[in-house]
Structure 1
């Protein structure tokens, strides 16, 4: 079962999400919180696989809470929830390290899919948000018009494909029989050569160039 914590200051929203996720069968809402500090306190008790975090929280907003979570639990998947138009917060959320961004008007299938993908270490990005991210990125070719990823070595390109598919450094190291430090070095080179700043921007770069969502062999 995927253990979920819901952080939203509206009881009715938490109840609705709880019921929706209950019907999924493989997801359990094991805790709720009405604000950021309460969510952090519950996370410190352990046992949470995915956090659903509202942006419009009382006191510290969700993005501020997300910054703290990335420092304390860098591997915790956090799905941001919002009633605001995607263009206002989606890109900011993902660049801060969120595993995905969901509007509260999303249907049940979209929400459960997002939770499952996040729990599996993958990002959840809707087509609309992907377009926003793509528009937010800078150039994607060198001075000669050559796609930047063509500057990668063969091994760098292999790592690039795995990162674009949402694989972690540890997973890539195991898949390619490399050390985690070596993969991290390749990742740094890839970010520099493609002009991207993090894995989210790299994934969107890959999607724009038709190199995204490349599964690991045997996956």
Structure 2
């Protein structure tokens, strides 16, 4: 019997995930949270076999939560779920301690397979993520500018290159517009870039965003 925690801010997504898991896995407990801020406080009262964690969460994004989980609860496998292309987040998530990464567009059977695999102590890595890992291993990217960004700066960068305004990013991340502007200025400085156009060019050149 499995105890699983789903962390996603979209009720319909949580409902769909719950239905898939209830139909395919023996569960003793299935809980939900709508934000990343409450995850650690929940774990202080109840532990789980697997945590399914979305990246884009209000207040505290999934990668920040993942970092905290890896420090405080390294024994709990975390399966990262996102609507973003794996190229945008998979390597960072795995290096922060994720046991697997899965795109929300994946088939239900793949979700079940991933949950079962990480619950056994293994890792779930799709063919696309395996290719990204191989490229990362073969190349020396340690000095690439975007590697110097914090998780929040990286998230703001991705949203900027996807065309979101500061106001839209502010709403999605539950931050003030002033704070978003500060992150933008800081990441541009770290990457030695001057504007969003240069940022978009950099992201496309290094395959940080989907070009579909």
Shift, 1:38, TM fit = 1.6
Give the match for residue 138 of structure 1. Answer: 138
In the alignment, does 2:80 pair up with 1:83? no
So what's the TM-score if we normalise by structure 2? 0.63
Q: Secondary structure of 2:138's partner? A: coil
CA distance 1:15–1:7, shift in 2 (3 Å) = same
2: CA distance, partners of 1:8 / 1:61: 10
Give the root-mean-square deviation of aligned CA atoms. 1.5
SS in 1 for 2:74: coil
**Match of residue 66 from structure 1:** 66
Is the contact made by 1:4 and 1:30 (CA closer than 8 Å) also made in structure 2? yes
Q: Which runs of 4+ in 1 moved over 3 A?
A: none
| 1:150-201 C-alpha deviation (Å, 9 max, x unpaired) | xxxxxxxxxxxxxxxxxxxxxxxxxxxxxxxxxxxxxxxxxxxxxxxxxxxx
Quote the Cα distance in structure 2 between the aligned partners of 1:72 and 1:25. 27
The answer to whether the 8 A contact 1:21-1:28 is kept is: no
Q: CA deviation at 1:29?
A: 5.2
User: Which structure 1 segments of 5+ residues have no match?
Assistant: 140-219
Give the Cα–Cα distance (whole angstroms) in 1 for the partners of residues 28 and 134 of structure 2. 34
Per-residue deviation, 1:2: 1.3
Q: CA deviation at 1:46?
A: 2.3
Tell me how far apart the structure 2 counterparts of residues 25 and 117 of structure 1 sit (CA, whole Å).
Answer: 12
Partner residue, 2:19: 19
Structure 2's unaligned 5+ residue stretches are: 140-212
Deviation at 1:130, TM superposition (A): 0.4
Is the Cα–Cα contact under 8 Å of residues 25 and 112 in structure 2 kept in the other structure? no
Matched, 1:102 2:102: yes
Show the 5 A alignment for 1:1-219: 1-27=1-27, 30-138=30-138
How far, CA to CA, are the matches of 1:17 and 1:46 in structure 2? Answer: 20
Alpha-carbon distance between aligned partners in 2 of 1:106 and 1:121, rounded to the nearest angstrom: 21
Deviation at 1:97, TM superposition (A): 0.7
Distance, in Å, in 2 between the alignment partners of 1:63 and 1:47 is 19
The 1:95–1:122 alpha-carbon spacing in structure 2 relative to 1, beyond 3 Å, is same
Q: CA deviation at 1:45?
A: 1.4
CA contact (8 A) 1:6 1:29 kept: no
Aligned residue pair count: 140
Quick one: higher RCO (CA 8 Å, sep 6+), 1 or 2?
Answer: 2
Aligned to 1:190: none
